[in-house]
Amino acid sequence: MFRGDLTSRRDRARAWSDSLLVDHAAFRVLWDNWAEVAPGRLYRCNHPTPARLARAARRHGIKTIINLRGHRQCGSDALSREAAGRIGLVHIDAPFESRGAPHKDRILRLADIYRTMAEPALIHCKSGADRAGLASGLFILLDGGTARDALAQLSWRFGHFNRSRTGILDAFFIRYALEGEGRKPFLDWLREDYDEMALRRDFVAGGLASFVNDRLLARE
């Protein structure tokens, strides 16, 4: 439906159709899943429409937007990317998975982004539940918070289900709490001790919760 171009009215109409119908933005027009992660520094939401992005920039002074979906050939991506440029925001792609063990190299890159970005910043994935929760929790740990505080960002309040396959994100923070917290700074533990394969091997998701999350809700 959408070929990645916004130059003509027809292309823009295709982008909106793709965003609203294929990428489920029709639901996100009414529900933004917005929350403050760190006052005046970091906010989180689902994939913002251009209007919501402009509103967030005005109300909260957003300077940077971090796209946890990565670059995608879809209307939502094209429209929000164009809107960020028009508003004057720095747009950064930092893709993560929602159902796999968090990748060490991607976390290290996000840590560098957090260290150097212009604040306040806004992070988003598709629904604002799983990858946004992971990235929010990582910000809290990197800012000196606890694993318990980080885990609170992965909550049913945002639409996160820890008994489904996305629960591996919770397991990541729990593993740090058990293996490193109080003994090693988070990044030292990540570089020296974190084992992605072991986390993937040890985690077992609930079948029913995974069916609801992956099939019925068609979450990304």
CATH number, position 192: 3.90.190.10
Answer whether residue 156 is part of any domain. Answer: yes
pLDDT class of 208 with cuts at 50, 70, 90: very low
The 10 Å CB-count burial string (b at 16+, else e) for 177-204 is eeebbeeeebeebbeeebeeeebeeebe
Q: What is the mean pLDDT of the chain?
A: 92
Answer whether residue 16 is part of any domain. Answer: yes
Answer whether residue 1 is part of any domain. Answer: no
What's the pTM? 0.90
Q: Is the pLDDT of residue 97 over 60?
A: yes
Quick: pLDDT tens for 166-176: 999 999 999 99
Answer whether residue 3 is part of any domain. Answer: no
**What range does the domain containing 141 cover?**
9-216
Which range is least confidently modeled, 38-47, 154-163, 182-191? Answer: 154-163
Answer whether residue 4 is part of any domain. Answer: no
**How many C-beta neighbours within 10 Å does residue 172 have?**
25
Answer whether residue 169 is part of any domain. Answer: yes
Contact 57, 65 (CB under 8 A): no
Q: What's residue 209's pLDDT?
A: 39
> Between 117 and 3, where is the model more confident?
117
Q: What is the mean predicted confidence (pLDDT) over 204-208?
A: 56
Answer whether residue 2 is part of any domain. Answer: no
- Give how many domains the chain has, as a whole number: 1
